[in-house]
Amino acid sequence: MPEYRAPLDEMNFVVDQLHDLSALAHAIDNEDASVELLDAVLSESDKLANQVWSPLNATGDQQGVKLTDDGVKSADGFAEAYRQYAEGGWNSLYFDPQYGGQGLPFTLSMPVSEMAQAANMALGLCPMLTAGAIEAIHAHGSDELKGIYLEKMISGAWTGTMNLTEPHAGTDLAVLKTTATPVDDHYLIKGQKIFITWGDHDMTDNIVHLVLARMPDAPAGVKGISLFLVPKYLVNADGTLGARNDAYAINVEHKMGIHASPTCVMSYGDNGGAVGYLIGQPNQGLVAMFTMMNNERLVVGLQGVALSDRAYQHALEYARERVQCVAPGQRERSAIIHHPDVRRMLMTMRSLTEASRAVCYLTATQIDLSQMASDMEQRALARQRVGLLTPIAKGWCTEIAQEVTSHGVQIHGGMGFIEETGAAQHQRDARILPIYEGTTGIQALDLVGRKTLSDNGAAMARLIADMRADIVRHGDQVSSPQLAMLSDGVDGLEQAYEKLLAESGDDPMLPGAISYDMLMLAGYVCGGWQMLRSAALVSSVDNSTFVANKKATVAYYLEHMLPRFKANLESLLAGSASVMAISADML
């Protein structure tokens, strides 16, 4: 099977031209964020992804991980591949230079993350979780905790995890039972957590767990949850590792996909209590954890892009090689890439992948502006845009990954259902993405609730205004029917959120009943908006083949993918009546 190769021209275009790297660098006063640096980052990261990480993808899937008396053993080659990643400085790109980071924009880390996830998502999950833990500690931890842990984590010498879910509680964090009892300058943590990605492994000397737990006499529900840092090994005053903490993996899950990523059941305090340190304020654990969660949600959306691209590359190579039947316009049996239906699937895969990449990278750019723009008004507007785009990027990009990876299997035909071709792994690995870090339903509820109803549609109205401004600005770059379709899509998005605002007060079931369709509608329209901008900005690229292919992909998206918004809109306008018509006990 083919090894992954990063689409360097496309990544460069999206970061540099589509999302205007020079303007971003100016806005956040970061002169290091140059086109020359971007080229170097992309080129070197591609080498690691292609030559080191990608060859371990299939073997790791076949071998999996193993829980032994000495802890979890990673798949063969993973520890060395991770070491090369850490030593190359890839873990530190956008973090605070005070703790060893390189201080680059978050946006520049997006293509690096995409390459890692596409080359080997099972392995890529480890630094992904570490990055989120770093952000939470940096934003909410004490100076003492930052001094002890951040440099090691930013360098990649230590990794991090996120511990929320418990056996009796999935998304419902209000019923968490893990406890934290104060003792001197720390707490003793007792409880069990499940679904902990890379909860234990042998790739680094230490693992830093971020654990949600309740202090004694904490208020009931989510208002009584605090966040604690619980290291696998305690750290001595001189920075060396000390005693083993009372935190152990007691099981690894047997999963549908990502077999080489250990998903652990973690037990804290079986031998008296695991030493933990409070992060942030008591009973404010969700505030701190959501700093980590929001990072993970965007990168999970990016994982959808990554696996879509990997599946597309795999299917494209197979379609070029597999000879079957006589295609229209051919005189002899030919490669299946000449058959219109195969071409339809490949163009669907290609266009959805490019649109979803543009949406994810846009969200990252807005994150940079929300945190570092020198203009405070620009920072505030970007913060609003990040809140609106994050559930769309996470929800829509992971949902379309299901379709794209499925097409990858379909193009392989019967061989796609056979594991040795590797096509099935992409689909199996992608299936977790709409579940990770808040399901699609939760992202959809976030979009209609906290991101639309809560501000009376202000953020959505501003997004729609920006889309309409670009339709006026760049409308001559696409055909009249294509432009009309995008205009209709933007109108449909406005119609959808206006219905939500107008009728939710009288129908409490409405937001939940229409939220999925609103999220998918927003995704397709945001993708169309970015594709229009791509058609306008690609002309500046000095590569005629790339320009022609981009314009053709834009045309396909606007003509064949964007019209899907109409079905979402019609379903949404139908409201909640038929959704809730059959009683729960009769379903």
Give me the active site residues, please.
437
Radius of gyration of the chain (CA): 24
Cα atoms found within 13 Å of the Cα of residue 165, Cβ hemisphere only: 16
For 545, the token pair is 């083949």
For 81, the token pair is 């591949």
DSSP 11-48: HHIIIIIITTHHHHHHHTT-TT--HHHHHHHHHHHHHH
CA dist list (Å): 21 to 31, 34, 105, 108, 463:
11, 7, 10, 9, 21
Instruction: Please name the residues in contact with 343: beta carbons below 8 A apart, sequence gap of 6 or more.
Output: 337
What distance lies between CA 41 and its chain's CA centroid?
A: 20
Burial profile 351-366: b = 16 or more Cβ within 10 angstroms, e = fewer: bbbbbbbbbbbbbbbb
Cα atoms found within 13 Å of the Cα of residue 108, Cβ hemisphere only: 28
- Beta carbons of 3 and 54 less than 8 angstroms apart: yes
Q: What's the DSSP call for residue 353?
A: H
Q: What is the rounded CA–CA span in Å between residue 418 and residue 316?
A: 17
Q: What is the rounded CA–CA span in Å between residue 337 and residue 344?
A: 10
Q: What is the rounded CA–CA span in Å between residue 31 and residue 103?
A: 11
DSSP 389-443: HHHHHHHHHHHHHHHHHHHHHHHTGGGGGSGGGSHHHHHHHHTTTTTTTS-HHHH
